[in-house]
Amino acid sequence: MDTFVTAMLSRSNEILHDPLFQAGRQVAEAEERREQQIRVLSALAQGSPARIYAEHVLSEIERTIALSRMNQELIESLLA
């Protein structure tokens, strides 16, 4: 394996084990899920059982985002 590839693999491994990077990625992934859920909601009829359930899922995603952001802030403060 050449030096460049070894360096890139080493850097990738460091990033995967970086708690702040992981927390940021969790926030970004949850925000992406929220956008997907909003698109699902827009296609469902008002008051339908499917929409009611989809709204519940959206509220859980919002809660996950809030918790993920709090986790990210905690990690930032611990690393400061």
**DSSP state letters, 23-57:** HHHHHHHHHHHHHHHHHHHHTSPTT-HHHHHHHHH
Q: 30 vs 26, 40, 72, CA distance in Å?
A: 6, 15, 13
73: pLDDT strictly greater than 80: yes
CB atoms within 10 A of CB 75: 17
Residue 7, pLDDT score:
55
Report the predicted TM-score, pTM, of the whole model to 2 decimal places: 0.77
- Name the token pair of 50: 């499917």
pLDDT digits (tens, 9 = 90+) for 24-68: 999 999 999 999 999 999 999 999 999 999 999 999 999 999 999
Residue 68, pLDDT score:
97
Residue 75, pLDDT score:
94
